[in-house]
Amino acid sequence: MLADPVALLRPTSPARQFRTRLVMALAFAALVVALVPLAAIAWYVISKGIAVINLDFFTQDPPGDLSAVGGGIRNAIVGTMEMTGVAAVIAVPVGLLVAIFDVEVGRQPALVIRFVIDVLGALPSIVVGIFVYSLVVVAQGHFSGFAGSIALAIIMLPPIVVTTEEMLRLLPRPIAEGARALGLSRWRSFLSVFLPTAFSGIFTGVLLAISRAIGETAPLLFTALGNNFFSLDMSEPMQGLPLLIYRNALNSAFPAAEARAFGAALTLVVIVLLFNLTGRWMVARSRPSGGR
């Protein structure tokens, strides 16, 4: 961190050096304290999860009675993928358009939109669940996978807008000037120049947004509700991995429910990390060229 000439100036007073060492040790201790729960949860979820995972766990549906041994989590995996997929299909285009609008309209309105997006992104996810319940579920008259998708889309929207906007603003000036020099209209510039150039950054944002939404339980409680049976129908109540883990955790006095919860938790964590780490890896890779 320190340049070499600076190191030459390092003071020698032992008391002062000790203070720096002490702070360093405390800072290091803070890191260790934070990593203890991470290591503990990794160990528990992996060791207890592996124990129940086999092929049947992914290809069978759970038994009607949570306390019964056996069955799998197929309905939850399919439901999570379906609801998250539909949510992404809704949130990505809307997020891109909002971000482009934000970049285009100039400073003052952009600040307002950003403020709304920031507040929206900080909404408790259970409140998002209530919102969607009040509009979609009440209007439909019943819980549905579609309502769950809407809730997840609202969760995804803010991070997608924020990263897209950041990526567009980070574009090197010569690219914008080049597009203008070509005589491209604004919409053409975005479509054929800016968005493709910022693609990897935007894609990363989308992946991270999905990884966040996929693990959300609270917005699904009063929207998708959960379903013990296999269903592909978005207009019916739908099971998701987080919902299945929650319901089995509530019944974890039964060994079968506890085992199922840990198996599903391991599955969910692996899926989340797959999206999350791919996204992060892309950030790390794209940083030298386009990053700050």
Which parts of 127-156 interact with other proteins (CB under 8 A)?
A: 127, 130-135, 138, 154
Min dist CB 284 to other proteins, Å, is 8
Q: Are 214 and 268 in contact (CB under 8 A)?
A: yes
**In this chain, which stretch among 55-63, 70-78, 199-207, 272-280 interacts with other proteins, using CB under 8 A?**
272-280
**Burial class of residue 13 (count of CB atoms within 10 Å of its CB; 0-12, 13-18, 19+):** exposed
195 near other proteins (CB under 8 A): no
Give dist(CA 148, CA 136) in Å, integer. 10
Say how many C-beta atoms besides its own lie within 10 A of residue 218's C-beta: 18
Say how many C-beta atoms besides its own lie within 10 A of residue 240's C-beta: 32
Q: What is the per-residue binding string for other proteins in 50-89, x denoting contact by CB under 8 A?
A: ----------------------------------------
Cβ closest to other proteins, residue 232 vs residue 270: 270
98 near other proteins (CB under 8 A): yes
Query: What are the residues whose beta carbons fall under 8 Å from the beta carbon of 78, sequence distance 6 or more?
Result: 230, 232
Q: For the chain, give me the number of helices (H) and strands (E)? A: 15, 0
Q: What is the per-residue binding string for other proteins in 204-233, x denoting contact by CB under 8 A?
A: -------x--xxxxx--xx--x--------
Min dist CB 63 to other proteins, Å, is 19
Min dist CB 80 to other proteins, Å, is 11
